[in-house]
Amino acid sequence: MRDCPYAGLMPFTEEQAAFFFGREAEREIITANLMASRLTLLYGPSGVGKSSVLNAGVVHHLRAQATQTRASHGKPEFAIVTFRTWRDDPLVGLEHAIAAEIGRPAAGAAFADRLSEATQAVTGDLLIILDQFEEYFLYHSAVDGPGTFAVEFPRVVNRPDLRVSFLVSMREDSIAKLDFFKGRIPNLFDNYLRIDHLERSQARDAIVRPVEQFNRRLPAGTAPMKIDPALVDLVLNQVTRGRVAIAGTGKGRLGMGGDGRAQDERVETPYLQLVLTRLWQEETAAGSRELRGATLERLGGAGHIVATHLDAALGALTDEERTAAAAIFQYLVTPSGTKIALGIDDLAQYARRKREEIQPLLVRLSSGENRILIPVAPPADQPSRESYQIFHDVLAAAVLEWRTRYVLAAERVEADKRAEEQRQRAEHEAQAAARLRKQRRLLFGLLTATGVLLFAVLVLSYFASQQRRQLQETALELKALQEVFFAADARVKDLQEKAKVAQAAAIGGFEEAQRLFKEAGDLARAGNTQAAAAIEAKANQASQKAKAAQNTYAELNQAVVQEQKVASDAQKSAEDLSKKLPTGGGTILTGGGGITYPPPDPKPTEKTPEKEKEKEPAPAAGAKGGDYREPFRKAMVAKDRKQWAEARRLLEQAIAIKGTESTEKITIAGFGNMEQYLPKYFLGVALKNLGDCPGAVRAWASSENDGAVQQTNMYKTLQRERDACGK
């Protein structure tokens, strides 16, 4: 027994015929036309339930009759064949379906002969239903010639001696495509039936009678399912299609009320089934044996059930398909929630995608359980144009809300990504700036030696005139390089300050955009799409300003790189020039800082103990005696070599001599390489790398208490490392 008597958005099958109600009149009319006419055309709007009435109505009814005649006469009075798989060769597929129905393959040279031979297996006609016939044109519109369906199908329809009847079922918007057969099948449109959405009385039967049938099949002693009377009208009111103007009463037209009057109110068949299926699942999952109006209201009504269905259907798509769907929905629904019909080519152009990329997506969203889109009839002057629109007005509002949430989420992710990239770039630039400052100190030492060189020119005046001229020229060149370097260095500093401002603006802008996108997403989820759209506009403005600041930051950084290259070139040229200088017994300063000469012999002077004492530097505050600089210097060398245990020992030694950190800068190794006296801070770094986070935190706390580290750019590193230790 079925767990649910309703079908959702899928068509009813033959196996579900016992639960199919509301289409009894249509079933009788379609059955009579199929058995009496050589060719019948059945059409109607997409989603009206054509396949359901054929499967669970006509085919089930006729198959039951054929079974009765087989039992009484030994042969069935007729055979019923349903065919709806059009992707492959339709003639081959149709013959397989016929063979499965009559129990053996038919022989014959031509398709008509094989059909004739197949009718010998039954005492009556072969009834063939060609369902979803519009798909034939989708897959085989360009296939023609002998042996093809395009030729053989009209041939068998036109043979009066064949005991074969055909029913072609297709969407109303595709009727114009049958013009392909107009010259091949005379009187093609003589016998047609149009099926419409359910009348209100039919829809009531589709709600109540499946539950009655379900209860009849329950095992003895099982509590039956009930329907709250208030629920029936509540559901019907919420899924009513609206007032439909039914023009004319042409031949075979379906849709008359029991009193002969055209009914104005129609019910959306698939959404009726969708809402009922969801209610059934909700009640049975809770252990309830009644479908209640209160449950429908708790679920938010039919509109919210449709929206939930939309989320589930779109959640089954790939990321690329959801992105394409969001782009398409933008043009199928207005901001006020009104649905618009557009052709595939228009949608492809608006969404900036290829036709072949979106066509499979449109087909997927308009078929099966998805039913988010619906194909619509093309304009009379463009019969070949494929167009789509949102299936239902209620679904249009849900589509608009989904797209708003999807776009806001995507933009927030992009804003997060950009903000994180900007933060990482800021850290990278800070590291590069630190390296640049170190290089600048080294270069400063090199170029300030120009003064020493000028003095050396005077001292070396006893050299040959040619040597003097060369030294003078070299000195002038070095002086010019010095001016170039300092000018470039000044520009670098100015550009870096401007870059910091632009960088701060970019990060702030992206963070503001993140906040606004989140606020807009919250409003959209709450259903306030108008306010969400206004906040989204502000978020986009903040994002654009952040992007502009980011571009300015990039341009300034590029200018910094260019100026750094100018300074670097000056440094290299100065180093090359310094190598050409004769030492004259002098020595080259470490780092290329120019040349020095031995000082003249000092005149002997008598030094009193008092004078010597005056020249000694006064011990720093907090010093306990000894030279704290030497262990600190060695500790920094050990740190650079990642010898953490040795660095810890030396730093503790320095702290024991001078326990208070200060802004004093101590030369470490080479000219210009200096570190501020922060032994407690560096002790925390060493302890962290040795795995002693509690000790590191205590060392950093002591460093903060001294107050010197806050004046350096290492304070942010201290805070970050301390937070990392705390996790």
Report the greatest alpha carbon distance in the chain: 146
Which element (helix H / strand E) includes 226?
strand 226-227
| Distance (Å) of CA 217 to CA 196, 276, 521, 675 | 31, 19, 48, 89
For 683-698, the pLDDT digits (tens) are: 999 999 998 999 999 9
Q: Is the pLDDT of residue 616 over 50?
A: no
The pLDDT of 17-35, averaged and rounded, is 94
Radius of gyration of the chain measured on its C-alpha atoms? 44
Most confident of 54-58, 119-123, 137-141: 54-58
Over the chain, what is the mean pLDDT? 80
Question: Could you tell me which of 246, 290, 273 has the C-alpha nearest to residue 22?
Answer: 273
Q: Is the pLDDT of residue 128 over 90?
A: yes
For 412-466, the pLDDT digits (tens) are: 888 888 878 877 887 777 777 777 777 667 666 665 665 566 555 555 554 556 6
Q: Is the pLDDT of residue 620 over 60?
A: no
Residue 295, pLDDT score:
93
Residue 554, pLDDT score:
81
Angle at 656 between CA 651 and CA 658, to 5 degrees: 90
For 451-479, the pLDDT digits (tens) are: 566 555 555 554 556 666 776 677 778 77
Per-residue burial over 511-542, b = 16 or more CB atoms within 10 Å of its CB, e = otherwise: bbbbebbbbbbebbeeeebeebbebbeebeeb
| Phi-psi category of residue 656: left, alpha or beta, with phi > 0 → left and psi -120 to 50 → alpha | alpha
Q: Which residues pair with 389 in a beta bridge?
A: 374
The pLDDT of 167-174, averaged and rounded, is 91
Which pTM does this prediction carry?
Answer: 0.51
The pLDDT of 606-617, averaged and rounded, is 40
Q: What residues have CB less than 8 Å from 161, skipping those under 6 apart? A: 116
Residue 513, pLDDT score:
81
Q: Which two tokens stand for residue 625?
A: 């005696």
Which residue blocks in 580-689 are alpha helix, DSSP H? 609-615, 629-640, 644-657, 679-689
The pLDDT-based confidence of 246 (bands split at 50, 70, 90) is very low
Q: Is the pLDDT of residue 285 over 80?
A: yes
For 538-575, the pLDDT digits (tens) are: 988 888 888 888 889 888 888 888 887 887 787 778 77
* Long-range CB contacts (within 8 A, 24+) of 501-506: 502/549, 502/550, 502/552, 502/553, 502/556, 503/422, 503/425, 503/426, 503/429, 503/549, 503/553, 505/545, 505/546, 505/549, 506/422, 506/546, 506/547, 506/549, 506/550, 506/553
Query: What is the 3-state secondary structure of 426-439?
Result: HHHHHHHHHHHHHH
Which is more confidently placed, 333 or 23?
23
The pLDDT of 581-588, averaged and rounded, is 41
Residue 595, pLDDT score:
32
Which is more confidently placed, 336 or 677?
677
The pLDDT-based confidence of 588 (bands split at 50, 70, 90) is very low
Which element (helix H / strand E) includes 167?
strand 164-171
Distance of alpha carbon 481 from alpha carbon 446, whole angstroms: 11
Q: How many CB atoms lie within 10 A of CB 139?
A: 13
Q: Which of 162-166, 372-376, 438-442, 530-534 has the lowest mean pLDDT?
A: 438-442
The pLDDT-based confidence of 75 (bands split at 50, 70, 90) is confident
Which is more confidently placed, 173 or 286?
286
The pLDDT-based confidence of 377 (bands split at 50, 70, 90) is low
Q: What is the CA 502 to chain-centroid distance, rounded?
A: 29
For 508-544, the pLDDT digits (tens) are: 888 888 788 888 878 877 768 778 888 988 988 888 8
Residue 619, pLDDT score:
42
Residue 85, pLDDT score:
85
Q: Is the pLDDT of residue 598 over 60?
A: no
Distance of alpha carbon 717 from alpha carbon 727, whole angstroms: 16
Which is more confidently placed, 433 or 249?
433
Q: How many CB atoms lie within 10 A of CB 593?
A: 21
Residue 383, pLDDT score:
59
Distance of alpha carbon 100 from alpha carbon 400, whole angstroms: 47
Residue 601, pLDDT score:
41
Residue 467, pLDDT score:
64
Per-residue burial over 599-608, b = 16 or more CB atoms within 10 Å of its CB, e = otherwise: eeeeeeeeee
Distance of alpha carbon 618 from alpha carbon 680, whole angstroms: 22
> What is the percentage of the chain residues whose pLDDT exceeds 70?
82
Which is more confidently placed, 410 or 670?
410
- Helix/strand/coil for 528: coil
The pLDDT-based confidence of 320 (bands split at 50, 70, 90) is confident
- Asked whether the beta carbons of 646 and 638 are under 8 A apart, the reply is yes
The pLDDT of 670-688, averaged and rounded, is 84
